[in-house]
Amino acid sequence: MHILLVDDEEEFVVTVAERLNMRGIDADWATSADDALAMAREKDYDLAVLDVKLPRTSGLELRERLARDNPRMKFIFLTGHGSAEDYRVGAAGAAHYLGKPVSLQVLIEKMHETLGVKEG
């Protein structure tokens, strides 16, 4: 299971990646849309966890571009804000829409749920 974490808060995304790695989940991270797209070209990710608000590009836009490159890729949104508009647009394609702060346990559950993997 290859996961790509994208969030402009580096401390956040680094820590989450490390914690996932500790649990045996292969998680990479990026702090901008460009980095994320570059990384997605290098590696075939199953799931991307995106912040809705990213510098320059929004998380929603990034999702579209990632999906264009890799149609199989699944998405989970993670947001500190969560306006109704974001929710409506995001809910159309994303599997989950989670508010920050989120418990890692919940995040892992949602990831498994999205990928259809039974938690072992």
Partner 1 sequence: MSLIDKFRPAFLSQREYVDGPFKYHLDFRRIWKWTIVLTAVVALVPLIAITVIDYQVTQQSIASEIQLRSLRVTSNIKQTLYFFLTERRAALDFVIHTNSFESLVDAGRLADILENLKKGFGGFVDLGVIDRRGVQLAYAGPYDLRGKDYSRQRWFGKVQEKGIYISNVFLGYRNTPHMVVAVKSAFPGGGFFVLRATLDTERVNQVLQSLELCGNGDAFIINQQGVLQTPSRFHGDVLEHLALSVPPAAEKTEVYEDVEPSGDPIFVGYAYISDTPFILMIVQQKKLLMAPWHKTRMELIGFLVASVTVILLVIFGVATYLVNNMYRVDQKRLEAFHQVEYANKMASLGRLAAGVAHEINNPLAIINEKAGLIQDIFTFGTRYVDANKLSRQVEAILESVSRCGAITRRLLRFARHMDVSLEAIDLREIVEEVLGFLGKEAEYRCIQLKVDVDDDIPPLESDRGKLQQIFLNLFNNAFAAMQDGGRLEITARRKGRDHVVVKVADNGCGIAEDDLNRVFEPFFSTKQQDCGTGLGLSITYGLVKELGGAIEVESRVGEGTVFTITLPLKREKNRDDATCIT
Contact footprint for partner 1 (CB under 8 A): 9, 11-12, 15-16, 18-19, 22-23, 80-84, 99-104
Q: Which CB atom, from 67 or from 89, has the smaller least distance to partner 1? A: 89
Contact between 113 and 119 (Cβ < 8 Å): no
Q: Which CB atom, from 101 or from 116, has the smaller least distance to partner 1? A: 101
Q: Which CB atom, from 23 or from 68, has the smaller least distance to partner 1? A: 23
- Shortest gap between Cβ of 87 and partner 1 (angstroms)? 8
Tokens of 77: 């949104």
Instruction: Give ∠ CA 84-98-62 in degrees, rounded to 5.
Output: 75
- Shortest gap between Cβ of 1 and partner 1 (angstroms)? 18
